[in-house]
Amino acid sequence: MSVEDGIDFAIIELFFFAYRDFTSDPDQILADYGFGRAHHRVLHFVNRRPGLTVAELLDVLKITKQSLARVLKQLIDTDHVVQLQGPRDRRQRELYPTAKGRALALALARPQSRRIHAALEDAGAAERTLVERFLEAMVNPELRAQIDVGSAKMSGKNHGEH
């Protein structure tokens, strides 16, 4: 079972290797744009939750406003993301991907998706669900609310919170 001292080193290590290679695919694409992983994360969530505010984005990414600033500015300057004044609260800036931003987000997600499909190749729907449950259970319980991802909550094209 490879458990020494009651510690599950096997999955700890597998998780490290899996994530290392999972992020290596988009990293290569990002390099062509002069972007880094931070840009990817921001673009991903803006694409996935169009209209989310700066504060919401900070909460999801668990970084500070100052860390986000440079990255977001670059994405805006390169026309991947646009800011719109919040309709209810004009202090808020709602973030939306441009067509260019959506295209890049898609290009970055494609190799990752391919890798996932390959890993689940001869797995059935039940096994897929199991992997999803495992990953979700690895997230801090109080933060699972952030994952509306593919749950019943969200059936249309838009997310729930604006």
Partner DNA sequence: GATATTATGTCAGTACTATTGACGTAATTT
Partner DNA sequence: AAATTACGTCAATAGTACTGACATAATATC
Q: What distance in Å separates the CA atoms of residue 68 and residue 65, rounded to the nearest whole number? A: 5
Nearer to its own copies, 29 or 154 (CB): 154
- CA-nearest of 59, 57, 58 to 47 is 57
Q: In degrees rounded to 5, what are phi and psi of residue 93?
A: -115, 115
Residue 31 in the binding site for its own copies (CB under 8 A): no
Give the three-class secondary structure for 56: helix
DSSP 82-117: EEEE-SS-TT-EEEEE-HHHHHHHHHHHHHHHHHHH
Q: Given the rule CB under 7 A, which of 63-71, 112-120, 135-143, 146-154 is the region that contacts DNA?
A: 63-71
Please select the residue that binds its own copies; options are 84, 139, 158, 161, rule is CB under 8 A.
Answer: 139
Residue 69 in the binding site for its own copies (CB under 8 A): no
Footprint of DNA (CB under 7 A): 34-39, 41, 53-55, 62-67, 69-73, 83, 86, 88-93
Footprint of its own copies (CB under 8 A): 1-2, 5-22, 24, 41, 44, 48, 62, 106, 109-110, 112-113, 115-121, 123, 127, 130-132, 134-140, 143, 146-147, 149-150, 154
